[in-house]
Structure 1
């Protein structure tokens, strides 16, 4: 039985060598069948690395280093960041109430208005408005009662956010 296997293996080896030499015009190196993978399943390759990079968190805030403004709804705080470093804050905020919650996620500043008047709420003044989501902005407002989705800031904090943030800046709102 062992001899039969050895002879069969040797004949396969010789046949492979002849075929390789013939197909190469007789001038190429002769590769032995033992060195040639039998099927694609015999070929080993390094596994592809498709794991996305873990986001880098900014020190002292619950947001990543890409954020320019960070809002913690549960902590009722906000910060301004520059390249992942806190440049202002934490400041107290008042987020949206139940049923009109401030949207979680990563957004970008859409536009700013020094004195926005809310058409939705009888022309209610919204000083230093920085809109980062449709109808939702940082602005000066009460820190004693919940907003209708916006992020209320004190007068000095709203002015700082207004003067520091620019169209396109990243705003992260986390739980």
Structure 2
């Protein structure tokens, strides 16, 4: 049983003469639920443990309050405190991201013979910049393509950068610090939680802070390597 949710979505993208279409998704804030569910979700114990609540598998008012706060912070709607699949999926991903620590390329999946390169691990929804084997920045959480609009894997290069990019396809939606690397797919900032489901329409969404740092560290011609598979795609 999944989270009972409604989402209002606005696709982020880029169209025009200079770069191919970039598709990215952002969600408009849904109207917050004004109540707290008393129902016990299928992941109640797991959610309680993640939040540091007493693990008894029974929904309480305090449990619901803590779950609602987590949902509100991470863009999970409706915020009714139900411990369903979406809420637990976000918590599980965060747990796995934390476990990666400061050695994101432990497996050696991202090439270490390319000099400066931006790596994107779809499985863990993480990105970082390395120079050979040296970690330069990150890892940081990112928000990549949802099912049907996946961020394409493989070795690419940044081919166009636009610090103040505005999408002409999606009603002038701003896409600050855009760095395009594959058929219009790009790194760029969004005003969303990086764990906001279901994901982008292909771009690699970042926080403003991280997108700005990527802008300062990367240049046209720098390599980008995308690998793995985003959960649920």
Give the secondary-structure state (helix, strand or coil) at the position aligned to 2:216. helix
Alignment of 1:78 onto 2:131: no
Once the 2 structures are TM-superposed, how far is the Cα of residue 83 of structure 1 from its aligned partner?
2.2
Tell me the C-alpha RMSD between the 2 structures. 1.6
Q: Distance in 1 between matches of 2:163 and 2:176?
A: 6
Cα displacement (A) at 1:59 = 4.8
Deviation string, structure 1 residues 118-171 (Cα, Å, up to 9, x no partner): 122222110111110121100002312311100001111000111111100000
Which of 155, 162, 166 is matched with 2:215 structurally? Answer: 162
SS for the counterpart of 1:168 is: coil
TM-score, L = length of structure 2: 0.48
How many residues in Structure 1 have an aligned counterpart in Structure 2?
Answer: 118
Q: Distance in 2 between matches of 1:172 and 1:120?
A: 27
Which of residues 181, 184, 198 is equivalent to 1:132?
Answer: 181
- 5+ long unaligned stretches in structure 2: 1-103, 229-233
Correspondences of 1:16-165 after superposition (within 5 Å):
59-60=105-106, 62-65=109-112, 66=114, 68-141=117-190, 142=192, 143=194, 144-145=196-197, 146-165=199-218
> Any gaps of 5 or more consecutive residues in structure 1?
1-57
Preserved contact between residue 136 and residue 149 of structure 1 (Cα < 8 Å)? yes
Q: Which has the larger radius of gyration?
A: 1
Q: TM-score, normalised by structure 1?
A: 0.64
Taking a change above 3 Å as real, the CA distance of residues 135 and 86 of structure 1, as seen in their structure-2 partners, is same
Deviations 1:39-86 (A, max 9, x none): xxxxxxxxxxxxxxxxxxx95363011261000011000001112311
In 2, Cα distance between the equivalents of 1:147 and 1:126?
A: 12
Whether the 8 Å CA contact 1:59–1:85 is kept in 2: the answer is: no
